[in-house]
Protein backbone atom coordinates (compact mmCIF):
# COMPACT_ATOMS: atom_id res chain seq x y z
CA UNK A 1 0.00 0.00 0.00
CA UNK A 2 1.41 3.37 -0.92
CA UNK A 3 1.97 5.95 1.79
CA UNK A 4 -0.56 8.75 1.84
CA UNK A 5 2.14 11.25 2.66
CA UNK A 6 4.58 10.27 -0.06
CA UNK A 7 3.48 11.71 -3.40
CA UNK A 8 5.02 9.98 -6.41
CA UNK A 9 4.53 13.03 -8.62
CA UNK A 10 6.17 15.20 -6.00
CA UNK A 11 9.12 12.86 -5.70
CA UNK A 12 9.55 12.84 -9.46
CA UNK A 13 9.85 16.60 -9.57
CA UNK A 14 11.97 17.10 -6.46
CA UNK A 15 15.72 17.63 -6.52
CA UNK A 16 18.06 17.48 -3.59
CA UNK A 17 20.79 20.03 -3.08
CA UNK A 18 24.19 18.43 -2.70
CA UNK A 19 25.21 19.47 0.81
CA UNK A 20 28.72 19.58 2.29
CA UNK A 21 27.74 16.65 4.51
CA UNK A 22 26.81 14.56 1.48
CA UNK A 23 30.01 15.49 -0.30
CA UNK A 24 31.98 14.53 2.79
CA UNK A 25 30.22 11.17 2.99
CA UNK A 26 30.87 10.52 -0.72
CA UNK A 27 34.53 11.41 -0.37
CA UNK A 28 34.85 9.07 2.58
CA UNK A 29 33.12 6.22 0.71
CA UNK A 30 35.52 6.80 -2.18
CA UNK A 31 38.49 6.76 0.15
CA UNK A 32 37.40 3.50 1.75
CA UNK A 33 36.50 1.68 -1.47
CA UNK A 34 40.11 0.67 -1.95
CA UNK A 35 40.32 -0.88 1.50
CA UNK A 36 39.77 -4.55 0.74
CA UNK A 37 41.84 -6.39 3.33
CA UNK A 38 39.85 -7.98 6.15
CA UNK A 39 41.26 -9.74 9.12
CA UNK A 40 40.07 -11.00 12.41
CA UNK A 41 40.97 -9.46 15.71
CA UNK A 42 42.43 -11.29 18.65
CA UNK A 43 39.77 -13.48 20.28
CA UNK A 44 38.76 -12.54 23.80
CA UNK A 45 37.81 -15.15 26.40
CA UNK A 46 34.18 -16.01 25.76
CA UNK A 47 31.70 -15.39 28.52
CA UNK A 48 30.00 -18.43 29.96
CA UNK A 49 26.73 -16.61 30.54
CA UNK A 50 24.49 -16.17 27.48
CA UNK A 51 23.14 -12.70 26.80
CA UNK A 52 19.50 -11.84 27.37
CA UNK A 53 17.58 -12.72 24.22
CA UNK A 54 17.16 -15.76 22.02
CA UNK A 55 19.33 -18.75 22.87
CA UNK A 56 21.82 -20.50 20.61
CA UNK A 57 20.34 -22.47 17.70
CA UNK A 58 22.00 -25.41 15.98
CA UNK A 59 20.85 -24.32 12.54
CA UNK A 60 19.51 -21.15 11.02
CA UNK A 61 15.86 -20.56 10.26
CA UNK A 62 13.90 -17.33 10.54
CA UNK A 63 11.02 -19.47 11.75
CA UNK A 64 13.16 -20.38 14.77
CA UNK A 65 12.82 -16.81 16.03
CA UNK A 66 9.51 -15.27 17.00
CA UNK A 67 8.78 -11.94 15.35
CA UNK A 68 7.07 -11.04 18.63
CA UNK A 69 10.56 -10.91 20.13
CA UNK A 70 12.53 -7.83 18.99
CA UNK A 71 16.09 -9.01 19.80
CA UNK A 72 18.48 -11.91 19.28
CA UNK A 73 21.46 -12.74 21.47
CA UNK A 74 25.11 -12.52 20.51
CA UNK A 75 25.32 -16.31 20.93
CA UNK A 76 22.50 -16.90 18.46
CA UNK A 77 23.99 -14.52 15.91
CA UNK A 78 27.42 -16.11 16.22
CA UNK A 79 25.94 -19.55 15.57
CA UNK A 80 24.07 -18.37 12.47
CA UNK A 81 26.33 -15.62 11.14
CA UNK A 82 27.37 -17.35 7.92
CA UNK A 83 23.90 -18.37 6.79
CA UNK A 84 23.26 -17.01 3.26
CA UNK A 85 19.73 -15.78 3.98
CA UNK A 86 20.76 -13.79 7.03
CA UNK A 87 21.86 -10.19 6.49
CA UNK A 88 23.55 -8.33 9.34
CA UNK A 89 23.60 -4.53 9.28
CA UNK A 90 25.77 -2.11 11.24
CA UNK A 91 23.38 0.83 11.65
CA UNK A 92 25.50 2.89 14.03
CA UNK A 93 24.59 6.57 14.24
CA UNK A 94 25.53 9.12 16.86
CA UNK A 95 24.31 12.48 18.10
CA UNK A 96 26.24 15.42 16.57
CA UNK A 97 27.80 16.46 19.89
CA UNK A 98 29.35 13.00 20.33
CA UNK A 99 31.71 13.72 17.42
CA UNK A 100 31.85 10.06 16.41
CA UNK A 101 32.03 8.94 12.79
CA UNK A 102 30.06 5.69 12.33
CA UNK A 103 31.56 4.90 8.91
CA UNK A 104 35.09 5.19 10.25
CA UNK A 105 34.20 3.10 13.28
CA UNK A 106 32.69 0.48 10.99
CA UNK A 107 35.98 0.31 9.11
CA UNK A 108 37.93 -0.15 12.34
CA UNK A 109 35.75 -2.90 13.82
CA UNK A 110 32.53 -4.61 12.76
CA UNK A 111 30.94 -8.02 13.04
CA UNK A 112 32.34 -10.21 10.21
CA UNK A 113 30.44 -10.06 6.94
CA UNK A 114 28.14 -7.22 7.95
CA UNK A 115 27.02 -4.32 5.78
CA UNK A 116 26.84 -0.67 6.74
CA UNK A 117 23.35 0.87 6.85
CA UNK A 118 23.65 4.66 6.56
CA UNK A 119 20.75 6.07 8.60
CA UNK A 120 21.23 9.56 7.17
CA UNK A 121 21.74 8.28 3.62
CA UNK A 122 18.64 6.05 3.58
CA UNK A 123 16.22 8.86 4.38
CA UNK A 124 13.73 11.36 2.98
CA UNK A 125 15.47 13.92 0.77
CA UNK A 126 12.53 16.38 0.65
CA UNK A 127 12.72 17.64 4.23
CA UNK A 128 15.22 19.50 6.38
CA UNK A 129 14.36 17.23 9.32
CA UNK A 130 17.14 14.69 10.00
CA UNK A 131 16.95 11.04 8.83
CA UNK A 132 13.21 11.00 8.21
CA UNK A 133 11.53 7.90 6.81
CA UNK A 134 12.08 7.63 3.03
CA UNK A 135 9.38 6.76 0.51
CA UNK A 136 8.59 3.15 -0.27
CA UNK A 137 10.37 3.41 -3.62
CA UNK A 138 13.45 4.91 -2.00
CA UNK A 139 13.65 2.34 0.80
CA UNK A 140 13.22 -0.50 -1.71
CA UNK A 141 16.00 0.95 -3.87
CA UNK A 142 18.33 1.38 -0.89
CA UNK A 143 17.79 -2.15 0.41
CA UNK A 144 18.18 -3.58 -3.08
CA UNK A 145 21.52 -1.79 -3.49
CA UNK A 146 22.65 -3.36 -0.22
CA UNK A 147 21.70 -6.78 -1.57
CA UNK A 148 18.79 -7.41 0.81
CA UNK A 149 15.92 -9.63 -0.38
CA UNK A 150 12.49 -10.18 1.13
CA UNK A 151 13.42 -13.77 1.95
CA UNK A 152 16.27 -12.58 4.17
CA UNK A 153 16.24 -12.38 7.91
CA UNK A 154 17.81 -9.09 9.02
CA UNK A 155 19.73 -8.47 12.25
CA UNK A 156 20.65 -4.86 13.03
CA UNK A 157 23.20 -3.64 15.56
CA UNK A 158 25.00 -0.45 16.54
CA UNK A 159 28.12 0.62 18.40
CA UNK A 160 26.40 1.82 21.60
CA UNK A 161 24.43 -1.26 22.60
CA UNK A 162 20.88 -0.53 21.53
CA UNK A 163 20.44 2.92 20.06
CA UNK A 164 20.11 3.66 16.35
CA UNK A 165 19.64 -0.05 15.54
CA UNK A 166 16.13 0.23 17.00
CA UNK A 167 15.30 2.92 14.44
CA UNK A 168 16.32 0.65 11.54
CA UNK A 169 14.38 -2.25 13.08
CA UNK A 170 11.32 0.01 13.06
CA UNK A 171 11.97 1.17 9.48
CA UNK A 172 11.98 -2.39 8.16
CA UNK A 173 8.76 -3.11 9.98
CA UNK A 174 7.13 0.07 8.62
CA UNK A 175 7.85 -1.21 5.12
CA UNK A 176 6.39 -4.65 5.82
CA UNK A 177 9.52 -6.71 6.57
CA UNK A 178 8.75 -8.64 9.75
CA UNK A 179 11.84 -10.85 9.85
CA UNK A 180 14.02 -8.20 11.48
CA UNK A 181 15.66 -8.17 14.90
CA UNK A 182 18.15 -6.10 16.89
CA UNK A 183 21.32 -7.61 18.31
CA UNK A 184 20.79 -7.39 22.06
CA UNK A 185 23.58 -5.27 23.50
CA UNK A 186 24.99 -4.46 20.06
CA UNK A 187 28.67 -4.49 19.18
CA UNK A 188 29.78 -4.00 22.82
CA UNK A 189 27.96 -7.17 23.85
CA UNK A 190 29.33 -9.08 20.85
CA UNK A 191 32.90 -8.16 21.77
CA UNK A 192 32.36 -8.80 25.49
CA UNK A 193 31.12 -12.29 24.56
CA UNK A 194 34.53 -13.01 23.01
CA UNK A 195 33.52 -13.03 19.38
CA UNK A 196 35.66 -11.85 16.47
CA UNK A 197 35.39 -8.53 14.70
CA UNK A 198 36.79 -7.49 11.33
CA UNK A 199 38.88 -4.44 10.61
CA UNK A 200 39.33 -2.64 7.27
CA UNK A 201 35.95 -2.97 5.63
CA UNK A 202 35.87 -4.74 2.31
CA UNK A 203 35.56 -2.56 -0.75
CA UNK A 204 32.32 -4.37 -1.61
CA UNK A 205 30.63 -3.38 1.64
CA UNK A 206 31.60 0.27 1.30
CA UNK A 207 30.53 0.38 -2.34
CA UNK A 208 27.14 -1.09 -1.43
CA UNK A 209 26.61 1.54 1.26
CA UNK A 210 27.50 4.27 -1.20
CA UNK A 211 25.26 2.73 -3.88
CA UNK A 212 22.31 2.63 -1.48
CA UNK A 213 22.59 6.36 -0.74
CA UNK A 214 23.00 7.19 -4.43
CA UNK A 215 20.02 5.01 -5.41
CA UNK A 216 17.80 6.89 -2.99
CA UNK A 217 19.00 10.22 -4.35
CA UNK A 218 18.12 9.07 -7.86
CA UNK A 219 14.62 8.07 -6.77
CA UNK A 220 14.03 11.53 -5.35
CA UNK A 221 15.23 13.02 -8.63
CA UNK A 222 12.65 10.99 -10.53
CA UNK A 223 15.13 8.58 -12.09
CA UNK A 224 14.61 4.85 -12.58
CA UNK A 225 16.68 2.56 -10.36
CA UNK A 226 17.06 -1.12 -11.10
CA UNK A 227 17.15 -3.93 -10.28
CA UNK A 228 14.77 -3.79 -7.33
CA UNK A 229 15.11 -6.98 -5.31
CA UNK A 230 13.34 -5.76 -2.17
CA UNK A 231 9.58 -5.21 -2.22
CA UNK A 232 7.86 -2.98 0.33
CA UNK A 233 4.40 -3.12 1.88
CA UNK A 234 3.82 0.10 3.77
CA UNK A 235 2.29 -0.20 7.25
CA UNK A 236 0.77 3.26 7.87
CA UNK A 237 -0.35 2.45 11.41
CA UNK A 238 3.30 2.25 12.58
CA UNK A 239 4.26 5.84 11.67
CA UNK A 240 2.53 9.03 12.76
CA UNK A 241 2.53 12.49 11.24
CA UNK A 242 2.28 15.84 12.96
CA UNK A 243 -1.44 16.04 12.18
CA UNK A 244 -2.07 12.71 13.85
CA UNK A 245 -0.33 13.92 17.01
CA UNK A 246 -2.41 17.11 16.97
CA UNK A 247 -5.61 15.10 16.60
CA UNK A 248 -4.57 12.81 19.45
CA UNK A 249 -4.21 15.83 21.73
CA UNK A 250 -7.94 16.38 21.25
CA UNK A 251 -9.31 12.83 21.39
CA UNK A 252 -6.69 11.21 23.70
CA UNK A 253 -7.05 7.86 21.93
CA UNK A 254 -3.35 7.02 22.38
CA UNK A 255 -1.14 7.54 25.40
CA UNK A 256 1.87 9.56 24.24
CA UNK A 257 5.31 8.56 25.55
CA UNK A 258 8.41 10.71 25.07
CA UNK A 259 11.78 8.90 25.17
CA UNK A 260 13.96 11.97 25.83
CA UNK A 261 15.75 12.72 29.09
CA UNK A 262 13.53 14.14 31.83
CA UNK A 263 15.36 17.49 31.92
CA UNK A 264 14.80 18.05 28.21
CA UNK A 265 11.19 16.98 28.58
CA UNK A 266 10.70 19.39 31.49
CA UNK A 267 12.43 22.22 29.66
CA UNK A 268 15.19 22.58 32.25
CA UNK A 269 18.02 21.42 29.97
CA UNK A 270 18.78 22.42 26.38
CA UNK A 271 18.05 20.34 23.31
CA UNK A 272 21.17 19.02 21.54
CA UNK A 273 20.16 20.71 18.28
CA UNK A 274 20.66 24.47 18.13
CA UNK A 275 17.64 26.68 17.78
CA UNK A 276 15.17 24.16 19.20
CA UNK A 277 13.50 24.97 22.49
CA UNK A 278 13.20 22.21 25.10
CA UNK A 279 9.91 21.17 26.65
CA UNK A 280 7.27 18.68 25.56
CA UNK A 281 4.06 18.12 23.64
CA UNK A 282 1.05 18.70 25.91
CA UNK A 283 -0.36 15.48 27.29
CA UNK A 284 2.79 13.42 26.71
CA UNK A 285 4.58 11.51 29.48
CA UNK A 286 8.30 10.99 29.88
CA UNK A 287 9.81 7.50 29.83
CA UNK A 288 13.55 8.02 29.14
CA UNK A 289 14.82 5.32 26.78
CA UNK A 290 17.71 4.14 29.07
CA UNK A 291 14.99 2.77 31.36
CA UNK A 292 14.60 -0.09 28.86
CA UNK A 293 18.08 -1.52 29.55
CA UNK A 294 20.05 -3.30 32.21
CA UNK A 295 23.62 -2.35 33.13
CA UNK A 296 25.03 -4.16 30.07
CA UNK A 297 22.78 -2.24 27.66
CA UNK A 298 20.60 -5.26 26.89
CA UNK A 299 16.81 -5.15 26.83
CA UNK A 300 15.21 -5.86 30.19
CA UNK A 301 13.05 -8.95 30.72
CA UNK A 302 9.31 -8.44 30.23
CA UNK A 303 8.44 -8.18 33.92
CA UNK A 304 11.10 -5.54 34.52
CA UNK A 305 10.01 -3.59 31.45
CA UNK A 306 6.43 -3.65 32.68
CA UNK A 307 7.55 -2.12 35.98
CA UNK A 308 9.53 0.60 34.22
CA UNK A 309 6.58 1.66 32.07
CA UNK A 310 4.17 1.65 34.96
CA UNK A 311 6.53 3.41 37.40
CA UNK A 312 8.45 5.77 35.12
CA UNK A 313 5.46 6.36 32.90
CA UNK A 314 3.46 7.99 35.69
CA UNK A 315 0.30 6.05 35.18
CA UNK A 316 0.82 4.47 31.76
CA UNK A 317 -1.72 1.70 31.15
CA UNK A 318 -0.39 -1.18 29.07
CA UNK A 319 -3.97 -2.14 28.27
CA UNK A 320 -4.54 1.04 26.24
CA UNK A 321 -3.00 2.19 22.91
CA UNK A 322 0.44 3.85 23.10
CA UNK A 323 2.46 5.93 20.64
CA UNK A 324 6.02 7.19 21.07
CA UNK A 325 8.16 10.19 20.16
CA UNK A 326 11.60 11.56 21.07
CA UNK A 327 13.95 14.16 19.58
CA UNK A 328 14.25 13.03 15.95
CA UNK A 329 12.47 9.66 15.86
CA UNK A 330 15.41 7.45 16.90
CA UNK A 331 15.07 6.64 20.61
CA UNK A 332 11.27 6.50 20.39
CA UNK A 333 11.90 3.25 18.53
CA UNK A 334 13.62 1.89 21.65
CA UNK A 335 10.39 2.41 23.60
CA UNK A 336 8.56 0.67 20.75
CA UNK A 337 10.98 -2.25 21.12
CA UNK A 338 10.37 -2.51 24.84
CA UNK A 339 6.61 -2.46 24.31
CA UNK A 340 7.04 -5.03 21.52
CA UNK A 341 8.55 -7.44 24.06
CA UNK A 342 5.45 -6.89 26.21
CA UNK A 343 3.18 -7.93 23.36
CA UNK A 344 2.32 -4.45 22.12
CA UNK A 345 3.67 -5.05 18.63
CA UNK A 346 1.88 -2.23 16.78
CA UNK A 347 3.15 0.89 18.59
CA UNK A 348 3.43 3.84 16.19
CA UNK A 349 6.33 6.31 16.25
CA UNK A 350 5.94 10.02 15.50
CA UNK A 351 8.61 10.36 12.84
CA UNK A 352 9.25 14.10 13.07
CA UNK A 353 9.09 14.02 16.88
CA UNK A 354 10.09 17.00 19.00
CA UNK A 355 12.36 18.54 16.36
CA UNK A 356 9.41 18.95 13.99
CA UNK A 357 6.94 19.97 16.69
CA UNK A 358 9.17 22.57 18.34
CA UNK A 359 9.98 24.30 15.05
CA UNK A 360 6.30 25.00 14.31
CA UNK A 361 5.57 28.46 15.77
CA UNK A 362 1.85 27.93 16.31
CA UNK A 363 1.95 24.62 18.21
CA UNK A 364 1.52 24.46 21.99
CA UNK A 365 4.41 23.39 24.22
CA UNK A 366 4.77 22.70 27.91
CA UNK A 367 7.83 22.96 30.18
CA UNK A 368 10.04 25.50 31.88
CA UNK A 369 11.01 27.03 28.53
CA UNK A 370 14.36 27.96 30.05
CA UNK A 371 16.38 26.89 27.05
CA UNK A 372 16.06 27.52 23.33
Q: What residues act catalytically?
A: 326
Q: What is the dihedral of CA 104, 217, 346, 84, to 10 degrees?
A: -60
Measured between its terminal Cα atoms, the distance across the chain in Å is 39
**Neighbouring residues of 75: CB distance < 8 A, sequence distance ≥ 6:** 50, 51, 55, 56, 193
Q: Which of 106, 54, 107, 102 is nearest to 78 (CA)?
A: 54
- Exposure of 239 in the CB half-sphere (CA atoms within 13 A): 24
Taking alpha carbons only, the member of 107, 52, 48, 115 closest to residue 81 is: 115
Alpha helices by DSSP H, listed for 7-124, are 8-13, 20-32, 74-80, 102-108
Amino acid sequence: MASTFFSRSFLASSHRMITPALLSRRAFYSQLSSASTAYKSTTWARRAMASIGIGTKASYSTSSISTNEPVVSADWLHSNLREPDLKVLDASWYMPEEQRNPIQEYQVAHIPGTLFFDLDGISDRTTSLPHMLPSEEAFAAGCSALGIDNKDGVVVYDGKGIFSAARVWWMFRVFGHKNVWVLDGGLPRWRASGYDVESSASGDAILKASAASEAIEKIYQGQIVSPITFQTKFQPHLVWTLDQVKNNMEDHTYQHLDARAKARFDGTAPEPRKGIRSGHIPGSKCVPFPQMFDSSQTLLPAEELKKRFEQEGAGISLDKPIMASCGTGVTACILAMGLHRLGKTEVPVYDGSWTEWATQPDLPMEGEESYS
